[in-house]
Structure 1
Amino acid sequence: MDNLESLVITRRLRVPLDADPGGASDGGRPGRGEVAARQLDAALLTAGFACSPALLERLSGLSVEHVIDLGLRILAAVRELAGDHVRHNAYFIDFPRNVPGTAEFWTSLMWRSLLGPDASDQAVTPRTLNLLTLPDYGSYPHAYADLLAAHAELIPLAGDRVTVLDLGGDLRSEARELYLSLAGSRVPLPAEDLAALRELAAYCAGHLPELAAGEAPEHIPVRENRAVVNAARLAAGLPLLVDTVTDVLRLACGASGGDVTLATATRFRSFRRAERRALLKALDAVATDAALGDVPRLREPWKRLGERLHPHEYPHLPRAAHVFDVARGERPARGLGGRVETALAAGRTDEAVELLERSPGALLRRLDHLLRTGTDPERVLAAAAQAARAASGRVLLSLREHLHNRLAPAAGRVFVNRHGRAWTSADTRPPLSAGVLAQAAGLLDEEITRRLPDLGTLVVEPAMLDVALPLSGKAAAPGLGMLPRGSLAPVEGELLRFFVHWRQTARRTDYDLSALMLDDAYGDPEYISWTNYTNDFATYSGDLTTAAHGASEFIDVVLARATRPVVIPQVNIYDGEPFDQAAEAFFGFMTRDLVQQGLPFEPRTVRMKSDLRGAGSVALPLVFLRGGDGGWRAKWLHLYLKGSPAFNQVEGNRLSTALLVRSIVEREYLTVRHLAALLARKGGAGDHTTYLGLQAPADAPEGARVYTPATLHELIPA
C-alpha cells in the first residue's frame, strides 16, 4: 500500500488521504493536527515542495499521529523524486571554490605518491605510474560531515523551485485514476510506468471490484500496456483482451515475469491447465490465415511457448495449433511486410499501395517511401487520406512531425530505438515537393482536428507551448521536471549545476560526468571532465572511481561568462556496471544565483532529476542552448550512445555527439503549440475550462480539467 501511495504522490503530485483511523470519519476535530501539518510543510519546503492550501487544511483536521506517519511517507517520496534521499558529497571539499587546476592537481597527487606526504627534496627513482590507481584518487578524501561544515547555508531566494503537492482523493480512487491513465495511454510507456501499471492492475484485481478485478479502460491501444493488463486478468480468471496473435505471446511473457515488449527473450513458466486453456482459446479466436503472417518474425519465442502450452491436447482449437505449425516451419505463412517489400523492390508501387490499404497504420508509416518511389502521388495521397481515418492518433501526429521536417535538409537522420540508443546517418533521401508535403500535412491536420476532444475554454501556460507532444515515452524515465524529447524549457538563474549520482551493485563502477561545449556551428570544442577541471566559466567537482556507498559528481557553469552557446552534459561509463545494472544511477540539474552558496546539492534548486537506465555507455540527457537574446534554454534529448565497452571519455565521442545533438536541436518537434492551434481552429462548445501547464494551478476553477506533462499523453487523440 505504501508503494501505491508513493506512486500517486510522485506521478501525480497528489497526496491520497483515506479516513483518519485515529479521528472522526470526517477527518476529526479541526485543528488537532495543525502544528504537525505546519511542521510537515516546513520540512517539505527544504526539499523544494509545499502543501497546497487544501491539503494543509485537510491535514490540520487529522490526528497528530496520522499527520506524522503520513508526513514521513510523503517526505520519503518527494526527496527521492528530487534526488535528496542520498548524501551528495563532492571530491573537492570547497567545490566550486578552491578547485585546483588540472596540472596542479595531478602534480600534487603524483608527488605525494612518489615521495609520501612528508617527503623532502630527495631523489626520486623513476617508475611507471597508473594515474587512476594513485593513492587518494577516486574516493572521497573527507567525510560528508566535513563537507557540511565547509559550506555556508543556502540563502533562500524567490526563484527557488517550489513544487506544490495537492490534495487527492482516497487511495482507491487515486489508484483507479492512475491505473486508467496508464492502461489507456496512447503512447508506449517507459519501463518504470509499465512496472507501475503491473502493480496497479494487481491492486485493482483485489481491491476494486467495480473495475471487474482489473478491467481495462474502453480501449488499450498500446500492445505492451494491454499485455500487462491481460496478465492481471489471466491471474483473476477473466476474459482476455486480444485481437492479434502477438497479443497472446506478449501476455504469456508478462504472465511469466518477462519482457512484454519482446525485446529480450523470456523464460516461460509452467502454466496451470486453466491458464493454458485460456491462452489457447484466445489464440484460436484470432489466428486467421492473415494473422499467421505475423508468426515467422518471432519463431523462437513461439516454439518455446508451444512447449509450455501443449496445443496438441486441445484438438477442438485447431487454429491455435496452426500458429505453432508456422513457427516450426511446418505450415507456410507470409506476412504483409514481406509482400510489400517484394512489390517495392520490383518497382510495383501501386501494388504495394493496394496491399498496404489493408493496414492503415503501415501505409502511413511508409508514406514518405511511397511518395518517393511512386509515379502517381495523387493515388498515394488518396490512399493516405483513406488510411488516416482508421490509423491511430499517435501515427497521425508522428507522420505530421516527419513531413514538417522534410521541408528543409537535416544535418543528419537520427534513429532512436526503444531503449534510447541513438545513431545518425547522412540524409540521402530525394526531396519531396512542397505541394505534395502541404497536401499531405493538410489532410493529417484535418483528421487530427476532427478527433480532438472539446476542451471548452482553453488556457495554456506560455512555458507549456514549447513542450513536445509525448509520441513515445519509452526512453524517458519518470522523474522531477521531466519533459518529452525535443521539448524546450527556459533556464533561469546565474549558475547552472548539473550532477550525476550512482551506487554500484557488485563491482567497482566508475561513471564520469563531463561536458562538451561547442560554438554555433557545433565545432571548436572545449571540454570539462576529469582530464580538464576548469576553464573560464565552468568547474568540475572532482573524479570518483568507485561507488560502493554512492558517489556524486557536479559541473558548474556560470552562464553569463560562457564562451560557448552549446553545452552538452554527458555521463560516460568509464568502467564497471551499465546504467541499468547499477543499484542506483540518476542525473539532474540545478539553477541558482551566485549569492546563494549552499551545499553542492540543494534540493530546492533542483529543476530536473531522472534515472539513467539506457542501453548505451554514454548518456546524453539534454543540451543547454543560448539563444539570440542571450537567454538559455534546455532541450530534452533522452539519448544514449553505444560508446566503447570501457574507458569512454568525452574527448573520444565528440564527433558523434555533436552530429547527434545538432540533428535533434535543428529538428522541429510537434509541440503543445501546434495542438493548441488545432484546438483553436476546432473551437470549444462546452462551458468548462481546460488548463495546460507545467503544474496544476492553485486557482483553477471548480470542475476545470488540468493537463500537465505527466498527463499530456491523455490528449493524444485515439
Structure 2
Amino acid sequence: MAHGLEAMVIRHTHRVPRPRGSAGEGGIAARQFDTALMSVGFKLSAPLLGRLSALSGAAVLHTAGRTLRTVREMVGDHVRHNPYFIDFPANVPDTEEFWARCVAQALGDETARETVRSQPADGELNLLALPAYGRYQHTYEEMLAAHDELIASAGDRVTVLHLGRDLDDELTDLYLALAGSATPLGDEHLADLKALAGRCALGPQPAAIPVRENRAVVNAARLTAGADLLLDSVVDVLRLACAFTGGDGTLRVPTRFRSLPRPVRRALLAGLDAVVAANPAKLADVLAHREPFKRLGERLHPHEYPQWPHAADVFAVARGEKRARSFDSRVAELIEASDVPGAVRLLAFAPGKLLRSVDHLLRTAAGQEERDAVVDAAVRAAPEASGRVVLSLREHLHNRERAGGRPRVFVDRRGGGWVAPDLRPPVPADDLARLAAALDTEIARRLPAPGRLLLDPDVLDVALPLSGRAATAGLGVLPRGSVSAVDGARLRFFVYWKQAEEPTDYDLSALLLGADYTTDSWLSYTSLTAVGGRHSGDVTEAPDGASEFIELTLDRIPATFIVPQVNIYAGEGFEETEESFFGFMLRDGERKGRPFEPRTVRMRSELRGTGRVALPLVFWREDGGRWRAKWLHLYLRGISSGNRVEENRLSVSKVVRAVVERQYLTVGHLVGLMSDRAVSVELWDGAAVPDEPVTYIGLERPEGLHPHSRVLTLGNLRDLVPG
C-alpha cells in the first residue's frame, strides 16, 4: 500500500516523498540510481541526490527499486514492446511483397495449405488464416539482439524528480489539491481521490469542494468514517449513494444499489430532509434523475422514518406523486414565448445558468435593447458564477466572433467527438466584444497578484484545463486544444494493448492530410510504407501484450497534417482491455536503438474512451516548415468491428479541421490578464532561476527555485483556474 501511495505522489507531482532510512554513505548507490533513471529519461534533483547520499546504501536501493518501477510505468517502459518486423524501422517490406511472403509460407505449411488454396476461388484472401500473419515470428530477446544500443543525445527528454516532504504531508497536500479542484477530474484522478479520501476524511479539508463528483467521493469516505456530510442539493445525496455503493458518482452510468446498513440509510435520509427543508425549490432537481431516485428509494425505505418528511417528498416527486416544476422548464417556457426580459430576470437567480444561456438569449432577443439587457445581466452575474463557467463563456465568445462557416466540434464527457455545421444566426460583434471585455475584467479580478512572474515560453500555448476530462492520465499529456512544438527529425508513434479476455486487434495508423484537409495518403497494416514513413507490422491478438509503431521522417512528408489514430479492428474496447496506451517519441538524425526507447518518449497517454477510433493528437506543418502538435483526446464512434483508416478518413478529417481551427483559451491568455499586477514578467530561458520567490508557470519545475515560490506545472495547472 505504501508503494502505491508513493507512486501516486510521484505521478502527480514528480516529487519523491522524503526518503527514510538509517544514515550512511549512500553516495555511490545514489549516483547509480541516477544513472539508471537517466536511461528512462528521468534524473534526480540536486537536493534529492544529496538526501539519498546521506542514507545507507540499503535505504537508497529500497527507494530506487520503488521509484524506478513507478517512472517506468509513467513512460510505458514497464511492458515489452515488440514490433512484428524485427528490424523495424529498417527492412520493412512493401505491403504486397509481405503478403505474398506470408502466402508462400502458408503454402509450405501442410496444416494451412488447403485453406489458403481454397480462398482465391472465393475472390478474397483472409490474411488472418495465414500462420505467419499477425503473430510474432521472433521473441522479445531476439528483437533486442537485432538492435544497437541507443547513444544518448542532448535532445532526449529529461524529467527531473524533486525531493518531497514526508509521505503523510505529500498525501495530505495531494488530497487537498484534488478534492478542492475548481475543475472536474478525469477518471484516473477521481480514482486517486477515492484512495486518498479514505485516508484523509478526518484530517484537514479544502475550504470548498466545488465539483460535485469530487464531493461525492469525499462524502462517501466521510460517511464511512462517521464525519459530517457536505450536502447542498438532493443530487449530492444521490451521487453519494452511488459512490458509497461502488457505483458511478458522476451519474454517467446507472448504479445498481445494494442493501444499505441502517446507519447509512439514516444518514442519507437525514441529508435529503435537511436540504429540502432549507430550500423546498430543490425538489425540482429530482426531475432530471427520476429513475435513479426511484431505485434509491427502494433501498432507503423512507416510510420507516416519519421524522424526515421532506426526504419522503423527494421520492414522491420521483414517482410523480408530488409536483415540482423545474427551474429549466420555467426558463424554457419564457424563451419559447420570446419573453427574453422575463427569462433574464429569472436566470438572474442562477448566475451559472445565465452565463451558459447567453448565446441563446442574444440570438432570441428582439432588438438591441433586449440584447443590451442580456449583456448587462451577464456582466452582473459573472462575479457570482464559478471561474470555470466564466472562462468557458470567454472561450465561446472568442470562437463565436470567428464562427463564419466553420464546423462546430462537440465532445461528450467520455471524450466522444463529433462535428456539425454551425447553423446559428450571427450575434452582433459589438455585443460579443462588450461582454468579452467584461469577462476579462472579472477573470483578472479573481487572479492572484503573481509578484515576480517567471514563465516557460512552452506553456503559453497550453489550453486551460477547464475539465480534467479534456486529457487522459499519462506523461507529458496536455489538455485538448493545447499546441506544442515538435523538435526532432524523426517522429515515432506507438500503441500498446493487452487483452483481458477475448482476442483483441488494435491497428495503429496515420492519416496524412493536405492543407485543405483532403487525404494525401496513409500508413497502416494495408500500407506499410509511404513517403517518409514505415509501419512496424500488424499484430492481431495480444494475450501477452502487443505493440505497433509508425515512424515518419518529417522532412520527407509532403502532407500538411499527420493524424495518428488507433482503430479497434476486433475485440475489446479501450476501457475493457487489461491495459492500453498511446504515445510518441522524437529522435534526431539516423540514431539507432530499440523500437521503444523510454528516454525519447515525449508523451504517453492512457487509451480510455468509449469509441472505437482513438485520435490522441494531430501534427501540422506551419508555413516555415516547423512542425507543431495540437492535442485532440477524442474518440470517434466507429463501427463494432473492422475499423480502418481507409474507411474513416472523411470523418477524421472533419473532426481534425474543427479542432485545429478552434481557438482554445490558453495559459497565455491568463498570463496577459495577470501581467498588469505582476512586479515583473520574465521568460525563463533554461538557465539559472532567480534567488528570490517567484510565481513560476511552466511544463516542468526547474531546479533551484526559491522554496517559497508558487509553482504551477502540468501536474497542478488546474490551480490556475480561479474559483
Per the alignment, residue 81 of structure 1 pairs with 74
Q: Separation in 1 of the partners of 2:679 and 2:326?
A: 44
Contact kept in structure 2, 1:514 and 1:527, CA below 8 Å: yes
Equivalent of 1:510, from 487, 505, 513? 505
Q: How far apart, CA to CA, are the structure 1 residues paired with 2:405 and 2:540?
A: 39
Q: Is 2:257 the counterpart of 1:261?
A: no
User: Within 5 Å, which residues of 2 pair with 1:356-395?
Assistant: 356-375=347-366, 376-395=370-389
Give the match for residue 208 of structure 1.
Answer: none
- Find out whether 1:657 has 2:652 as its counterpart: yes
Conserved? CA contact 1:176–1:204, under 8 Å = yes
Residues of 1 paired with 2:575 and 2:95: CA distance? 31
Which TM-score applies when normalising by structure 1?
0.96
Match of 2:131 in 1: 135
Task: Using the TM superposition, give the Cα deviation of residue 132 of structure 1 relative to its aligned residue in structure 2, in angstroms.
Answer: 2.2
C-alpha displacement at 1:167, in angstroms?
0.3
Q: How does 1:549-564 map to 2 (within 5 A)?
A: 549-564=544-559
> Is 1:341–2:332 an aligned residue pair?
yes
Output one character per residue of 1:614-671: Cα deviation in whole Å (capped at 9) or x when no partner. Answer: 0100000000111112111111101000000110001111111111111101111111
Instruction: Give the Cα–Cα distance (whole angstroms) in 1 for the partners of residues 198 and 465 of structure 2.
Output: 26
Q: What is the CA distance between 1:684 and its match in structure 2?
A: 5.0
**Cα distance per residue 1:96-119 (max 9 Å; x no partner):** 111000111111212222344999
Contact 2:453 2:680 in 1 (8 A): no
One-letter identity of the residue aligned with 1:650: V
2:151 counterpart of 1:155: yes
Give 1:297-336 correspondences, 5 Å limit.
297-336=288-327
Verify: 1:186 aligned to 2:199, yes or no.
Answer: no
Give the alignment of 1:267-282 within 5 angstroms.
267-282=256-271
Task: List per-residue Cα deviations over 1:211-240 (Å, max 9, x = no partner).
Answer: xx1553001110000110111110111110
Measured after TM superposition, the shift of residue 524 of structure 1 is 3.5
Q: Does 1:546 align with 2:566?
A: no
Secondary structure of 1:636 counterpart: strand
8 Å contact kept, 2:19–2:51: no
Q: Which moved more, 1:132-141 or 1:270-279?
A: 270-279
Report the alpha carbon displacement of residue 475 of structure 1 after superposing the two structures with TM. Answer: 4.3
Contact 1:214 1:232 in 2 (8 A): no
> 1 CA distance for matches of 2:208 and 2:405?
37
Whether 1:10 aligns to 2:11 is yes
- Aligned amino acid, residue 39 of structure 2: T
Question: Once the two structures are superposed, what CA deviation does each residue of 1:429-477 show, in whole Å capped at 9, x if it has no partner?
Answer: 1111111111010110111111111221111110011011001111422
* Structural RMSD (CA): 1.7
Per-residue CA deviations over 1:41-96 (Å, capped at 9, x if unaligned) read 11111111000011000011112111111111100000000000001000001111
Instruction: Check whether the contact 1:37–1:67 (CA below 8 A) recurs between aligned residues.
Output: yes
Partner of residue 685, structure 2: none
- Deviation, 1:594, is 2.6
Change in 2 beyond 3 A, CA 1:18/1:53: closer
Indicate conservation of the 8 Å contact 2:460/2:666, yes or no.
yes
Q: What are the Cα deviations for residues 354-375 of structure 1, in whole angstroms up to 9, with x where unaligned? A: 2211110011001011011112
Deviations 1:268-297 (A, max 9, x none): 222222221211111111123311111011
Identity across aligned pairs (percent)?
55
Match of 2:283 in 1: 292
Aligned ranges 1:160-179 → 2 under 5 Å: 160-179=156-175
The more displaced of 673-682 and 187-196 is 673-682
Separation in structure 2 between the aligned mates of residue 49 and residue 283 of structure 1, nearest angstrom: 50
**Does the CA-based 8 Å contact 2:213-2:250 persist in structure 1?**
yes
Q: Give matches, 1:381-460, under 5 Å.
A: 381-408=375-402, 409=404, 411-460=406-455
1:133 offset after TM fit, Å?
Answer: 2.0
Distance in 1 between residues matched to 2:485 and 2:671, nearest whole Å = 20
Report which stretch shifted further, 421-430 or 59-68.
59-68
Contact 2:453/2:678, CA 8 A, preserved across alignment: no
1:64 pairs with 43, 53, 57, which one?
57
CA distance in 2, matches of 1:478, 1:234: 28
After superposing on structure 2, the runs of 4+ consecutive aligned residues of structure 1 that deviate more than 6 Å are 117-120
User: In 2, distance between residues paired with 1:215 and 1:273?
Assistant: 28
CA shift digits 1:300-323 (9 cap, x unpaired): 110111111111122121111110
Distance 2:512 2:612 in 1: 20
Code of the aligned partner of 1:424: V
Unmatched segments (≥5 aa) in structure 1: 206-212
**Is the CA contact (8 Å cut-off) linking 1:410 and 1:663 kept in structure 2?**
no
CA separation of 1:688/1:36 partners in 2, compared to 1, >3 Å: closer, same or farther?
closer
Aligned to 1:241: 230
Alignment check: 8 A CA contact 1:88 1:551 kept = yes
The aligned residue for residue 217 of structure 1 is: 206
**Residues 383 and 578 (structure 1 numbering): CA distance in 2 closer, same or farther, change over 3 Å?**
same
Find 1:713's aligned residue among 700, 715, 718: 718
Match of 1:107 in 2: 100
CA shift, 1:688, in A, is 4.1
Q: Residue 209 of structure 1 aligns with which residue?
A: none
Cα distance in 2 for partners of 1:685, 1:561 equals 43
Task: Output the amino acid matched with 1:80.
Answer: E
Code of the aligned partner of 1:691: Y
The count of aligned residue pairs is 701
| Distance change (3 Å), C-alpha of 1:124 and 1:639 | closer
**Code of the aligned partner of 1:593:** D
8 Å CA contact retained: 2:20, 2:59: no
Task: Please tell me whether the aligned partners of residues 451 and 677 of structure 2 are also in contact (alpha carbons under 8 angstroms).
Answer: no
**2: CA distance, partners of 1:425 / 1:685:** 44
TM-score (norm 2): 0.95
Does residue 90 (structure 1) correspond to residue 68 (structure 2)? The answer is no
AA aligned to 2:231 is V
Partner Cα separation in structure 2 for residue 44 and residue 539 of structure 1: 30
Q: Distance in 1 between matches of 2:411 and 2:519?
A: 27
1:127 shift after superposition: 4.1
Alignment correspondent of 2:142: 146
Unaligned 5+ runs, structure 2 = 682-691
Measured in 1, the distance between the counterparts of 2:719 and 2:112 equals 67
- Within 5 Å, give how 1:600-611 maps onto structure 2: 600-611=595-606
C-alpha distance in structure 2 between counterparts of 1:653 and 1:491, whole Å: 26
Q: C-alpha displacement at 1:141, in angstroms?
A: 0.7
Q: What's the counterpart of residue 210 of structure 1?
A: none
Q: Distance in 2 between matches of 1:69 and 1:297?
A: 52
The answer on whether the counterparts of 2:106 and 2:112 sit within 8 Å (CA) in structure 1 is: no
1:486 equivalenced with 2:491 (yes/no): no
Amino acid at match of 1:312: H
Shift of 1:351: 1.7
Which residue of the partner structure matches residue 19 of structure 1? Answer: 20
The alpha carbon displacement at 1:558 in A equals 0.3
TM-superposed CA distance for 1:595, in Å, is: 2.6
